[in-house]
Amino acid sequence: MKKKFKISSRRIIQIVSFIVFNPYILLNPKAGKVLYQGKLKSLCVPILNCYSCPLAVGSCPLGALQQMIKISQIPYLLLGFFGTIGIFIGRYPCGNFCPFGFLQELLYKIKSFKFRVKRPFRYIKYIFLILSFLIPFFYKEPFFCKFICPAGTIEASLPQILFNPALLSNISWIFYLKIFLGIAFVFTSITTKRFFCSTVCPIGAIYGLFNRISLLQIKYDKEKCSKCGVCNAVCPMDINIYENTKDIDCIRCFECVNRCPYGALKVSNNFKK
């Protein structure tokens, strides 16, 4: 029998988010040649979405944060922005709004050998987070945007070069480094569930700190659980949610809640017992 094609509500949210954060092609057919310069660029999107992307109408919070530190400003606005989102919904934006996360989930569907990221490696993202504060402060360079960010490479570098070939004359070794890292992240996304999100992303690292105290939570009923492993199999971050429902890597996608055959997991708030 033919398998029925079914699209989950989370996939629809991910697609809609991508369009909402990157609609400039719909607003201006010349998008690509020109960057959106309207007032919406004063607002940050809650996820990694490069503001040099020809389609973007909002700003990347991590890019803005680093640029602010670079010019010796205390980024009150960005710290408040991350904190206010994190305290309510934790890493929910990673699981539902992030286009780069969405891309990684699609890449993981490609058949290949698969790897798991071991627990200690998941804390590497906090090194990237600390460096994203320290290097702009001491060396006046937006470290993460300049040397690492694969979202910037895919969403901004490649389209900008494509639409404005004149930029090719300014290419430096940093561009090749970013292309190399971009390709490396694409390959690791095929073999490992959301590799970039679990080991590198500084925005995920910030939101992850709030998973313990955020209002939005997952509750686990030990009595109902048979430890069948369905939750781990469907988890896009490859975590065992029944071991810790407040894991820093839980992106609040609720795939485990929806797929648990025993109803042992449910969406709840932190105030409920």
Partner 1 sequence: MRKKIIFFVFLLIFLILLFVGIILKQYDLVYNFGRFICFDCIGL
Q: Which residues bind partner 1 (CB under 8 A)?
A: 35-37, 39, 41-44, 50-52, 56, 58-60, 63-64, 67-68, 71, 73, 75-84, 86-87, 141-142, 145-146, 149, 152-153, 156-157, 160-161, 167, 170-172, 174-179, 213, 215, 270-271
- Per-position DSSP letters for 76-145, written without gaps between them: HHHHHHHHHHHHHHTTHHHHHT-HHHHHHHHHHTS-S--B---GGGGGHHHHHHHHHHHHHHHH---HII
Of the two residues 202 and 236, which places its CB atom closer to partner 1 in the complex? 202
Of the two residues 192 and 214, which places its CB atom closer to partner 1 in the complex? 214
Beta carbon of residue 110, minimum distance to partner 1 (angstroms, whole number):
26
Beta carbon of residue 12, minimum distance to partner 1 (angstroms, whole number):
27
Give dist(CA 266, CA 258) in Å, integer. Answer: 8
Query: Which tokens belong to 144?
Result: 């993460």
Of the two residues 84 and 112, which places its CB atom closer to partner 1 in the complex? 84
Beta carbon of residue 222, minimum distance to partner 1 (angstroms, whole number):
20
Beta carbon of residue 182, minimum distance to partner 1 (angstroms, whole number):
10
Give dist(CA 93, CA 87) in Å, integer. Answer: 12
SS3 202: helix
Give dist(CA 149, CA 179) in Å, integer. Answer: 10
Give dist(CA 241, CA 217) in Å, integer. Answer: 12
Of the two residues 9 and 164, which places its CB atom closer to partner 1 in the complex? 164
Beta carbon of residue 6, minimum distance to partner 1 (angstroms, whole number):
37
Longest Cα–Cα distance in the chain: 64
Beta carbon of residue 107, minimum distance to partner 1 (angstroms, whole number):
22
> What CA dihedral angle connects 92, 93, 95 and 98, to 10 degrees?
180
Of the two residues 53 and 260, which places its CB atom closer to partner 1 in the complex? 53
Contact by Cβ (8 Å): 200, 128: yes
Of the two residues 11 and 246, which places its CB atom closer to partner 1 in the complex? 246
Contacts of 244 (CB under 8 A, 6+ apart): none
